[in-house]
Every structure is written in C-alpha cells, then in structure tokens.
Structure 1
Amino acid sequence: MSPLPATGRTALLRRGFALEYATLGWNVIGIVVLTLAAIPARSVALAGFGLDSLIEIGASTVVLWELSGTGEDRQRRALKLIGVGFALLAVYLLVQSTLVLATGFHPRHSPLGIAWTALTAAVMFALAWGKTRTGAALDNPVLKTEGRVTLIDGLLAAAVLVGLLLNTAAGWWWADPAAGYVLVYYALREAKEIFTDH
C-alpha cells in the first residue's frame, strides 16, 4: 500500500476521531438508558448489554489514545486492553445467565429496552462500517479491530432485542438469559482473536 499524502492522512485521522467520539457519546448515554431499562425489568441481557457499552467506552478511549500517537508497542497494548474487557464481560454474563436459568427467574417486559436496542443496532452498524473503512485506509489495526468491536456491539444489540421481543410477545422468559449466552460467545471470540492475532 502506497503511503498516504499528509493531507489525506490528517483527514482520515479526523474522521477516525469523530467516529470514536460519536461511539463514546452514544455509549455514555446508553449506560444511563440501559440502567433505567434493566433495573425495573430485572433483565440480565440488558444489564450485560450495559456492561458491553462500558467496554465499548473503554475501547473507544483506547483507540483515541492510540490515534494520538503511533508505534507497534502502543497498538499491542491498546488491543490487549480491549481483549481484557471482553474476557471480563464474558465471565460476568456466564455467571449471571446461568444463575437466572438455574433459579427460573422471570424478567419483566421492557419497552424502553426494546426501543434502545433497536436504535443502537442501527447506529452501531453504521459506525462499524465507517471505522472499518477508515482503519483500512489508514492501515491502522487498532481502528480496524475496534470497528469489529462496534460491529459485534450492533449484533449483540440485535440479539438482546430478539430476546426482549420473545419475552414480551411469547412469554419466553428464558430468551433473556439466552441472549446473555450469545453475548458470552461473541465476547470470548473477540477476546481470543485479539490475544491470538496480536
């Protein structure tokens, strides 16, 4: 790949920063909304998705830190921090989802959770597309990886949405912790990819 002219690289870096700030802002708001939705509904999937938003905030912060400087050592550390966040999320969700299924706990309906996860899925897919393209143009592995993290965030929002809809429409209470297990799978897969590839 031929090196980018300085003006092109600067424009791409600005776009990368803008995408990360947008992700950061969305997820900060998301933690508040998901807390307001998860507590009254007592939903493990919404709580887990709120923690995923917290990890996404951490990942965006790491990418902003990495974009402000260069170097392979800095990129490796940034990627490992993102991987640790995913591993911790997987452990939490595995324990919580198993407890909910074992005790037969029935979460309540959450119209707010349904609306937010539907909107979040659309926003995350758009942000992931922008990050992946920008990361590829910059040849920046951290931004490309975080684009995957954002895509996973969109997929997880869709999985949580399906669980919430099944609980509301069909009374399938177990769909909520099942959505939690979907999050465990994706979180472990992302952590493994980060640690084995970098």
Structure 2
Amino acid sequence: MSAASAAAAAALLRRGRALEGLTLGWNAVGIGVLAIAALRAHSVALAGFGLDSLIEIGASTVVLWELASTGQVRQRRALRMIAAAFTALSVYLLVQTAIVFAVGYRPQHSPLGIAWTAVTAAVMFALAAGKSRTGHALRNPVLIAEGHVTVIDGLLAGAVLASLVLNAALGWWWADPAAGLVIVYYALREARAIQRDHS
C-alpha cells in the first residue's frame, strides 16, 4: 500500500471512529432525556426507545472495538450480548404494552419527548449516511451493518414521534403502546439478524 493510500485509509478509520463516537454520545444523552420524558408521560414508547438507545451504545462500542482490530472472538461475544439485549427489550415491551392495553392507561402528552425524537430522527439519518459512505470506502462490512442499525434507530424515532403527536393532537392514546410494538418488531429482527450472521 502506498503512503497516500495508507493515509487515506487512516483518515477513513478516524472518520468511522468519530461517527461511532457521535452516535454513542448522542444515545448516552438520550437515555437521560428519554427517561425523564417517559416518567413524566408514563409512555411505553419513550421507555422502549430509551432502552433501544442503551442497546445502540453497545452496538457502537462493538464497532469501535472492531475498527481498533481487537479480534473476532471478542466481537462475536459482544454481538451475542447485543442480540440478547434486543430480545430482552422485546419481552419487556410486550409485557408493558399488554398491561397498558389491559388497563386502558392513557399516557400524558410529552413536549420533551416530541422535541427529542424529532431531532434524534434527523441526527440518526445523517449519521447513517456518513457510516454508509465511510464503510463502503473502507470496504468494512461491520461499519456498513451498524449504519443500517442507525437507520433503524432513526425510523424508530420517527415512529415514536408519530405516536406522541397523534396522542397530543387527537387523543389517540393507543398510538403510544402501538409504537412500542413497532420497536418490538425491529428489536426481534435485529436479534435474529445478529444471530444468523454471527453464529
């Protein structure tokens, strides 16, 4: 590899690490914001999205390890842990959603939740685009795959945002637990994909 090619590859690696670091930092702040919003509004969707943000932190950490060339065994172990976390998230949300529907509990309006999920959707889509470009330039399938996870995070933010707006504008309280079921679907899909690709 020429000196110019090596320098370009090093720059791409730094960009990949920076994108993952930004994702990790945003989700770390998001956990606190979403916890406050979920407690105030008693929102299943916001609580589920907060837990999803915690799992996204784990996914970003795995990619940072991989970009540092730490070895396949450790990576597979970490990915199995992420798959287990996605499964646990699904079980939690299914139980919570069933309880909400059974008792007919009405979540409150959440201006904080609306603002955070709106901004998060935009940020996640921008980060995903950067990861896709960088991953393809590096020919790094792990970074490309994690970019897909970031797209899902943006889609989930959009789903939760829609549920919060529908509840606030039209009183559709059931949109909140319904958004929780959307997160269940994507969480189970991610768990199956990780187990299939890294078993």
How high is the TM-score relative to the length of structure 1? 0.93
Q: Percent identity?
A: 70
User: Are 1:87 and 2:68 an aligned pair?
Assistant: no
Amino acid at match of 2:108: R
Whole-Å separation in 1 of the counterparts to 2:8 and 2:70:
17
The CA deviation at 1:75 is: 4.0
1:40-119 → structure 2 map (5 Å cutoff): 40-69=40-69, 71-119=71-119
- RMSD of Structure 2 on Structure 1 (CA): 1.5
Amino acid at match of 2:26: W
The CA deviation at 1:39 is: 0.5
Q: Is the 8 A contact 1:49 1:156 kept in 2?
A: yes
Whole-Å separation in 2 of the counterparts to 1:51 and 1:100:
18
Whole-Å separation in 1 of the counterparts to 2:115 and 2:174:
20
| Corresponding residue SS for 2:172 | coil
| CA distances 1:63-91 after superposition (whole Å, capped 9, x unpaired) | 11121115444443343333222222111
Aligned residue number for residue 187 of structure 1: 187
Q: Is the 8 A contact 1:24 1:56 kept in 2?
A: yes
The CA deviation at 1:112 is: 0.5
Aligned residue number for residue 197 of structure 2: 197
Query: Which consecutive residues of structure 2, in runs of 5 or more, have no partner in the other structure?
Result: none
| CA distances 1:48-105 after superposition (whole Å, capped 9, x unpaired) | 1110111111111121112111544444334333322222211111111111111111
Aligned residue number for residue 157 of structure 1: 157
| CA distances 1:124-153 after superposition (whole Å, capped 9, x unpaired) | 001111112212222222212211111110
Whole-Å separation in 2 of the counterparts to 1:79 and 1:129:
22
Aligned residue number for residue 5 of structure 1: 5
Whole-Å separation in 2 of the counterparts to 1:154 and 1:116:
12
Query: Which consecutive residues of structure 1, in runs of 5 or more, have no partner in the other structure?
Result: none
How high is the TM-score relative to the length of structure 2? 0.92
| Corresponding residue SS for 2:173 | coil
Decide which moves more: 120-129 or 68-77.
68-77
Amino acid at match of 1:62: V
Name the count of aligned residue pairs. Answer: 195
Aligned residue number for residue 148 of structure 2: 148
Q: Is the 8 A contact 1:75 1:142 kept in 2?
A: no
1:117-136 → structure 2 map (5 Å cutoff): 117-136=117-136
Whole-Å separation in 2 of the counterparts to 1:115 and 1:35:
14
